[in-house]
């Protein structure tokens, strides 16, 4: 082969590669969701807003110490629900789970069809003492102004509970009869571990042989300007949630006076271990859930990103490195490592007998507790450091985003919120849903409201609020979803 021929083959090879990259990029177009026909509904925005406002005024605050709980606020809220939604209580059966969680059963005409479960929680997190005056309106006043309903729980998650109760009321008034049984839950302890609420529902459903086809609970939202590179609104319907694991790392040593240290102290040895661990991130992957997510998002990104994602076979390493640079991108890609607590000697001039550290991990569905412990032990590679599990568990199962339940949720979200990009996503925090996977085949996590960057600080924070328009759209979402799912 002459030099000329070699150059010609190289150029030809490059041109073919370029053609492949371009063809893949240009044919990388958004997947469409079947859009069905929905009957129009007219809703009373001021009445729905007034109901959310009233719900916010019950201080159903979950506190870590049970002695600090004001259970009277919870029972008062339940009484208010009965008075405010009489049609729901007349038509549906209500099961009180551990007294404070409400589980409504709307019996379907065909009981051989598997039911669906829609769930939200009415407990809220406390307002951090000292921040009350930072709120534009008092956190439990339930102020409704021209555009918004203000207060703790308007985003997380009383708006979902009220939206579902409003939807049920409208459907009962219309004389709607579901073919498939619908369960609607309002749980009371999501913010402190879901043991009695969602946990109690799971026990009840197991005892009564109820296996929902799918569940829908809180999760992500319709996100505006929150996904870098995507200007369209994105409805992230989350199909999994990350696990949570605390590991304790410990080093024992002889102690003694700090004026005569011998080699590294227990604190020094442990510091090196933590350093090595942080320099050994867990493996990332663009396969599975994360890949499915970017398959939906990337077609809406600028050309260069689109080209990269359309050709993951060639660029996956580059994409993963780039995504890992941001905290949010990194959390999507892999199990995260966060050393959070460290203790050593009790006094400045005493050598430590023990040094210990707690490292918090958020487990990606690709990893298990066992594989993380193994990774940590290898990364530290020092037998003086012991690794023990304090508490935690693996990520949830990954639900199927081609299942009809996901497709119905997606189609209704598009109907209500306009041309949004729908993607399966990953919830980074823990929710009631991780319990529902014991009973329901598929578990989806989505709130049918549209949020912007300025709304994000309201979650568990200050100035939580929801627009009236969003509250009305959420109600319509639940109406259309219940009708579609039930038939
Ligand atoms: Zn929540």
Backbone Cα Rg of the chain: 26
Distances (CA, A) of 121 to 26, 178, 226, 407: 43, 24, 25, 24
Q: Would you state the pLDDT for residue 1?
A: 64
Q: Would you state the pLDDT for residue 6?
A: 80
Give me the mean pLDDT over the 199-222 stretch.
Answer: 98
Structure pTM? 0.89
108 is written with which tokens? 């379907």
Q: What is the pLDDT of residues 375-397, one digit of tens each?
A: 999 999 999 999 999 998 999 99
- 45-221+402-414+429-486: in CATH 3.40.630.10: yes
pLDDT value at 46 more than 90: yes
Q: Would you state the pLDDT for residue 30?
A: 59
CA of 256 to the centre of ligand 1 (A): 49
Q: Which residues pair with 217 in a beta bridge?
A: 445
Residues with Cβ within 8 Å of residue 146, at least 6 apart in sequence: none
pLDDT value at 87 more than 80: yes
Task: Give the integer Cα–Cα distance in Å for 412 and 448.
Answer: 9
CA of 120 to the centre of ligand 1 (A): 8
CA of 313 to the centre of ligand 1 (A): 38
CA of 195 to the centre of ligand 1 (A): 15
Closest CA to 178 of 230, 119, 125, 105: 105
pLDDT value at 25 more than 80: no
pLDDT value at 481 more than 60: yes
Task: Give the integer Cα–Cα distance in Å for 323 and 35.
Answer: 33
Give me the mean pLDDT over the 268-276 stretch.
Answer: 98
Q: What is the pLDDT of residues 445-479, one digit of tens each?
A: 999 999 999 998 999 999 999 999 999 999 999 99
Confidence of residue 24 (pLDDT cuts 50, 70, 90): confident
- Domain range list for the chain: 45-221+402-414+429-486, 243-393
Q: Catalytic amino acids?
A: 123, 190
Answer for the pair 428, 362: CB distance below 8 angstroms, yes or no: yes
142: left (phi over 0), alpha (psi -120 to 50) or beta: left
CA of 161 to the centre of ligand 1 (A): 11
Give me the mean pLDDT over the 66-80 stretch.
Answer: 96
Give the torsion sign (CA, 265, 266, 271, 276): positive
Q: What is the pLDDT of residues 162-185, one digit of tens each?
A: 999 999 999 999 999 999 999 999
CA of 414 to the centre of ligand 1 (A): 23
Distances (CA, A) of 226 to 230, 231, 233, 325: 8, 9, 9, 17
CA of 123 to the centre of ligand 1 (A): 8
DSSP state of 353: S
Q: What is the pLDDT of residues 119-155, one digit of tens each?
A: 999 999 999 999 999 999 999 999 999 999 999 999 9
Confidence of residue 31 (pLDDT cuts 50, 70, 90): low
Third-level CATH fold of 243-393: Alpha-Beta Plaits (3.30.70)
Answer for the pair 193, 62: CB distance below 8 angstroms, yes or no: no
Give me the mean pLDDT over the 405-412 stretch.
Answer: 96
Q: Would you state the pLDDT for residue 321?
A: 92
CA angle, 424 then 478 then 87, to 5°: 155
Q: Would you state the pLDDT for residue 7?
A: 81
């Amino acid at each position: 082969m002459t030099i000329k021929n070699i150059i010609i083959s190289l150029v030809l090879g490059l041109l073919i590669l370029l053609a492949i990259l371009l063809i893949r990029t240009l044919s990388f177009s958004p997947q469409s969701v079947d859009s069905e026909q929905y009957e129009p509904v007219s809703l009373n925005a001021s009445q729905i807003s007034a109901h959310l406002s009233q719900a916010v005024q019950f201080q159903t605050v979950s506190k870590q110490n049970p002695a600090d709980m004001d259970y009277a606020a919870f029972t008062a809220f339940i009484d208010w629900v009965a008075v405010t939604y009489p049609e729901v209580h007349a038509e549906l059966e209500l099961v009180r789970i551990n007294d404070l969680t409400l589980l409504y059963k709307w019996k379907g005409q065909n009981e051989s069809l598997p039911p669906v479960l829609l769930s939200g929680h009415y407990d809220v997190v406390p307002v951090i003492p000292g921040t009350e005056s930072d709120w534009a309106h008092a956190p439990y006043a339930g102020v409704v102004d021209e555009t918004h309903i203000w207060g703790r729980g308007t985003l997380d998650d009383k708006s979902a509970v009220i939206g579902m109760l409003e939807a049920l009321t409208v459907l009962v008034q219309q004389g709607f009869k579901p073919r498939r049984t619908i369960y609607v839950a309002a749980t009371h302890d999501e913010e402190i571990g879901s043991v009695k609420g969602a946990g109690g529902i799971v026990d009840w459903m197991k005892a009564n042989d109820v296996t929902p086809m799918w569940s829908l609970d809180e999760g992500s939202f319709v996100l505006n300007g929150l996904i870098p590179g995507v200007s369209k609104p994105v409805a992230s319907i989350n199909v999994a949630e990350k696990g949570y694991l605390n590991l304790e790392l410990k080093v024992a040593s002889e102690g003694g006076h700090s004026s005569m240290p011998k080699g590294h102290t227990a604190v020094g040895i442990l510091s090196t271990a933590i350093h090595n661990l942080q320099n050994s991130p867990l493996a990332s992957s663009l396969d599975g859930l994360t890949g499915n997510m970017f398959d939906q998002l990337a077609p809406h990104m600028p050309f260069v990103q689109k080209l990269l994602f359309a050709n993951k076979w060639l660029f996956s390493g580059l994409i993963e490195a780039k995504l890992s640079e941001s905290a949010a991108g990194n959390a999507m890609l892999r199990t995260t490592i966060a050393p959070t607590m460290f203790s050593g000697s009790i006094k400045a001039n005493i050598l430590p007998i023990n040094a210990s550290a707690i490292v918090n991990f958020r487990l990606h569905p690709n990893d298990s507790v066992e594989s993380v412990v193994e990774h940590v032990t290898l990364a530290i590679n020092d037998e003086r450091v012991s690794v023990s599990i304090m508490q935690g568990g693996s990520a949830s199962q990954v639900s199927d985003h081609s299942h009809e339940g996901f497709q119905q949720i997606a189609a209704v979200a598009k109907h209500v919120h306009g041309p949004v990009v729908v993607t399966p996503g990953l919830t980074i925090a823990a929710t009631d849903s991780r319990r529902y996977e014991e009973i329901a085949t598929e578990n989806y996590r989505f709130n049918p409201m549209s949020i912007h960057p300025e709304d994000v600080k309201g979650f568990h924070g200050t100035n939580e609020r929801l627009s009236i328009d969003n509250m009305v759209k959420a109600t319509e979402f639940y109406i259309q979803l219940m009708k579609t799912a039930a038939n």
